[in-house]
Amino acid sequence: MDMSTQSKKADFHVDVQAMRERARKGLEDGAVTDTYRADRETVLRLLNDALATELVCVLRYKRHFFMARGMNAEPVAAEFAEHATEEQQHADRIAERIVQLGGEPDMNPANLAKRSHSEYVEASSLEDMIKENLVAERIAIDSYKQIVDYIGEDDPTTRRLMEEILAVEEEHADDLSDFLD
């Protein structure tokens, strides 16, 4: 540790009285304090887009779970069901964060397909279902990486949430690509 870092750490002081006064102001903003550095409207738009993406993925996975047929369908259908459950958990976490930031989760069915980064493709064969879900996971991976990069250090809670979801999306893509091998 260099001397300037040591000096900076030694000089660190929390103004508790000022923090208490700020906390009493803007109570209607809930978790969003004046130290929030991100553009909240942009973050809310990005989160609602991610929410739509997750909900479209839930619907696609559920359809594919029910429609999976063929000799090797059982393990693939089980994977579709597991992914649908995890995508719903992602959607719930994203919706919760939107509310924490003072926004409203857009779950209007008319808006989902417009906002979603991935598409709802029904697919007819088991192989096509796997491929369409893999395409959707790859899209989610790319878009969530961009969201993480955009948010950076300005909103660490949202960044961590999206990083955690991103890690699961990468696992999903890996699972699906294994079925294609």
- pLDDT, one tens digit per residue, over 34-89 is 888 999 999 999 999 999 999 999 999 999 999 999 988 999 999 999 999 999 99
Chain length of the chain: 181
Any idea which residue has 């409207």 for tokens?
41
Query: DSSP of 82-151, one letter per residue?
Result: HHHHHHHHHHHHHHHHHHHTT------HHHHHHH-SS-----SSHHHHHHHHHHHHHHHHHHHHHHHHHH
Are the C-beta atoms of 94 and 54 separated by less than 8 Å? yes
Q: Say which DSSP state 53 is in.
A: H
Q: How far is CA 94 from CA 59, 148, 153, in A?
A: 17, 14, 18
Q: What contacts 13, CB < 8 A, 6 or more positions away?
A: none
Domain 37-179 homologous superfamily, CATH:
Ferritin, core subunit, four-helix bundle (1.20.1260.10)
The predicted structure's pLDDT at residue 5: 63
At residue 134 the predicted structure's pLDDT band, cuts being 50, 70 and 90, is very high
Q: Which residues are annotated as a binding site?
A: 54, 90, 137, 169, 172
At residue 18 the predicted structure's pLDDT band, cuts being 50, 70 and 90, is confident
Mean pLDDT of the chain: 93
Q: Rounded to whole angstroms, how far apart are CA atoms 19 and 36? A: 14
Q: Which residues are annotated as a binding site for Fe cation?
A: 54, 90, 137, 169, 172
Q: Rounded to whole angstroms, how far apart are CA atoms 130 and 113? A: 20
Which pTM does this prediction carry? 0.88
